[in-house]
Each structure stands twice: as C-alpha cells, then as structure tokens.
C-alpha cells in the first residue's frame, strides 16, 4: 500500500536493537550445525512455536539459550550482517546496535571474538548499503556491579569503537542505582549513556536512570506515562524514548497494539522513536513496527515522519551529522 511504501522509503535510524535478538531460527539451526552445538528444538517451526511469552523473563530465558550457537568471530559477523541487510531493506540508514558481552564471555567466548565479528559486519554494511552504525555495550543487570566493571575493563582495547553503554535483562529487582558507579566510570571514559527503564519496572526506575545514571536516552520508558510530573520532565529535557511496539505486545507490556501509547507519547511532547528490540523473537523488523502502530493507532504520514526525525535527533551521531539527516 501507499503507507507501506512511505514507511519503507522514510530514512530512519534504529536506536534499540539487540543484535543477539536478530538471530533468526534458520540461522540458529545453520550455526548449530556449523558449530556442532545441540539446541532443544527439532525444527524451525518448533522454535517459532516456542516464542510465546508471558513476560520479559520468559523471553530472556529463550533468548539467552538461543545465543549458545554463537561461538566464533564469523558467527557474530554473519548474525550482524543478516540484520544490516534486513535493516537496509527497511530504509534504515543508521543503526545503533546493542550487544551483551556477558552472554558470551560467561560461556568462555573471548570478548575479541564477539566484537571483531560485529565490527567487520559493520564495515561491510557501510560498504554494501551505505548504512552507518555504532556499538552499544550493554551490561546484564541481573549480574553484579563487579561483573559489569570487569566487562568494561575487557572492552578497554576497543573503547574508540564503542559509542555507548546500555543496561538490559531482568529489570524488576535490578534498579539503575545498582550500576551508578559503573555508569560514572563509563562516562569518564567518554562513552555515551543509555539504559532500559520503565519496560516492566516502575516510573521510579526511569527517574533513577536520569538522576543516578545520567542517561541521554531511555530504552522503552513506557511506564513513565504513569507519572505526569515525570512525563513533563522527560518532555522538557528532550529525552529520547526508544519504544518497541511489537516487543511491547509480545512481552505483554501492552495487552493490544490498539492500546499502544506511541501517539500519546508524541502528543505529550515526548521524543518517541520506533524500534524493533529483538526482531527475530517479536515478529518483525523496524518497518513492521512502524506499520503495526500506524495501523493500530491510525498514525498518518506526518506522525510517521516525526518518529523518523526523532530517531536521528536521539542518535549518538555528532550534531552536524544529525542536522544533515533532519
Ligand atoms: N528488555 C530487557 N532486556 C532485553 C530486552 C528487553 O526488551 N531485549 C534483550 N534483552
Ligand atoms: Zn531492549
């Protein structure tokens, strides 16, 4: 349709994408075979059937298990290049991708294997599609502050090739405060700052991310809407929210896309963006996410263009590059 081609043709940035969450079942099987790793599924259909989640933790259990097929530099390269090919087809011209080093180093995979595979795919995506990208090193918040510090230390040789740090995994019970010192250390090394907050956690976690972590954007942020004063503050400060509609539906953050708050966010002056989070697990890439909320909430071209403009405004690109995109 006209709206479909408008969405695909809209140049956009993806700001909330876990590269491990772009592992399609077909590639999971291919890598399992290549690496002689056994996975608890007999077929691609069986894998897809397992992707029914009641909450964030249901998903995380399956997501970490799936990552077990990723062993070598080439695996990370193939994973990321498959994502960039899909993203480019959806009109993504810039992607800021998260990776979870601890998911791999805790299985004995060297940090170098992970990051060198991702970096070579990023260079290939630039050459192949003109798609620029940045890396966001995400700490697993269910693990300790000490483990996060150890991960930051392991990243030291690559700090000039990492744009930012992030915080993901099980939110409730692991408030931002737990990582305040890690974020201060990352900022001192010149890294930009983002964190998941307000996906399942309360508005207080969004406040902590702002006040204790000093983040420049909030990943998800849905539950901030429960606190009117917080919404006013996020709007006033021009804080970017990286919203993920199909993720919200699959993880039961919203009960129906017809009730998704994306247009409420825009109406309240929030710099909301649309992103895919873990597209292989949640049923769609970025254009699918734009289309799904456009249909469910009746968004028109003006609102879709605002969402795309917000994605550049909220990116970690230099100001003059952002200005050229918007
Ligand atoms: N939330 C928290 N952790 C995650 C997510 C998410 O949506 N995706 C991958 N890790
Ligand atoms: Zn996420």
pLDDT tens sequence across 112-137: 999 999 999 999 999 999 999 999 99
Q: Is 278 annotated as a binding residue?
A: yes
Q: For the CA atoms of 312, 90, 272, 64, what is the dihedral angle to 10 degrees?
A: -110
Sheet holding 132-140, edge to edge: 12-18, 92-99, 132-140, 164-168, 192-197, 217-220, 240-243, 271-274
Rounded Cα distance between 13 and 286, Å, is 9
Note whether 245 and 276 are within 8 A (CB): no
Rounded Cα distance between 59 and 201, Å, is 16
Note whether 20 and 70 are within 8 A (CB): yes
Query: Which atom of ligand 1 is nearest to 20's Cα?
Result: 9
Ligand closest in space to the Cα of 170: 1
Q: Whose CA is nearest to atom 10 of ligand 1?
A: 169
Q: Is 16 annotated as a binding residue?
A: yes
Which residues of the chain register pLDDT less than 50? none
Complex ipTM value: 0.96
199 catalytic, yes or no?
yes
Q: Whose CA is nearest to atom 4 of ligand 1?
A: 169
Nearest to 95 by CA among 64, 143, 55, 129: 129
pTM above 0.90, yes or no: yes
Instruction: Decide whether any atom of ligand 1 lies within 6 Å of the 196 Cβ.
Output: yes
Neighbours of 159 (CB within 10 A): 13
Q: Which of 199, 200, 208, 216 is catalytic?
A: 199
Residue 42 confidence (pLDDT):
93
Ligand closest in space to the Cα of 100: 1
* CB within 8 Å of 3: residues ≥ 6 apart: 291, 294, 301, 304
Q: Is 104 annotated as a binding residue?
A: no
CA triplet 237, 243, 245: central angle to 5 degrees? 155
**What is the 279 CA–ligand 2 centroid distance (Å)?**
10
**What is the 196 CA–ligand 2 centroid distance (Å)?**
7
CATH architecture observed for domain 2-315 = Alpha-Beta Barrel (3.20)
Instruction: Decide whether any atom of ligand 1 lies within 6 Å of the 168 Cβ.
Output: yes
Instruction: Decide whether any atom of ligand 1 lies within 6 Å of the 24 Cβ.
Output: no
Structure tokens at 86: 């899909």
Place of tokens 């409730």: 172
Instruction: Decide whether any atom of ligand 1 lies within 6 Å of the 222 Cβ.
Output: no
Rounded Cα distance between 165 and 9, Å, is 30
Place of tokens 């479909």: 4
Residue 1 confidence (pLDDT):
85
């Amino acid at each position: 349709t006209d709206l479909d081609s408008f969405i695909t043709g809209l140049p956009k940035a993806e700001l909330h994408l876990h590269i491990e969450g772009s592992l399609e079942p077909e590639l999971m099987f291919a890598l399992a075979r290549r690496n002689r790793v056994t996975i608890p599924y007999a077929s691609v259909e069986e894998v897809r059937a397992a992707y029914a989640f009641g909450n964030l933790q249901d998903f995380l259990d399956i997501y970490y298990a799936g990552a077990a097929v990723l062993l070598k530099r080439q695996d990370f390269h193939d994973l990321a290049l498959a994502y960039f090919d899909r993203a480019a087809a959806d009109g993504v011209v810039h992607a800021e991708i998260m990776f979870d080093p601890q998911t791999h180093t805790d299985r004995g995979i060297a940090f170098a294997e992970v990051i060198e595979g991702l970096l070579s795919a990023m260079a290939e995506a630039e050459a192949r599609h003109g798609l620029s990208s940045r890396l966001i090193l995400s700490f697993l918040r269910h693990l300790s502050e000490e483990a996060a510090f150890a991960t930051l230390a392991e990243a030291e040789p690559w700090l000039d090739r990492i744009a930012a740090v992030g915080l993901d995994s099980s939110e409730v019970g692991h408030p931002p405060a737990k990582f305040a010192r890690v974020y201060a250390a990352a900022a001192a090394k010149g890294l930009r700052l983002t964190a998941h907050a307000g996906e399942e956690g309360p508005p207080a976690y969004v406040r902590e991310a702002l006040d204790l972590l000093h983040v420049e954007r909030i990943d998800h942020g849905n539950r901030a809407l429960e606190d009117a004063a917080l919404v006013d503050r996020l709007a006033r400060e021009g804080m970017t929210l990286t919203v993920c509609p199909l993720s919200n539906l699959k993880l039961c953050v919203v009960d129906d896309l017809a009730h998704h708050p994306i247009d409420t966010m825009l109406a309240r002056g929030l710099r909301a963006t649309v992103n895919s989070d873990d597209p292989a697990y949640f049923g769609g890439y970025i254009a699918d996410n734009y289309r799904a909320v456009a249909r469910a909430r009746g968004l028109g071209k003006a609102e879709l263009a605002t969402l795309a403009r917000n994605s550049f405004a909220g990116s970690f690109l230099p100001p003059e590059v952002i200005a050229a995109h918007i």
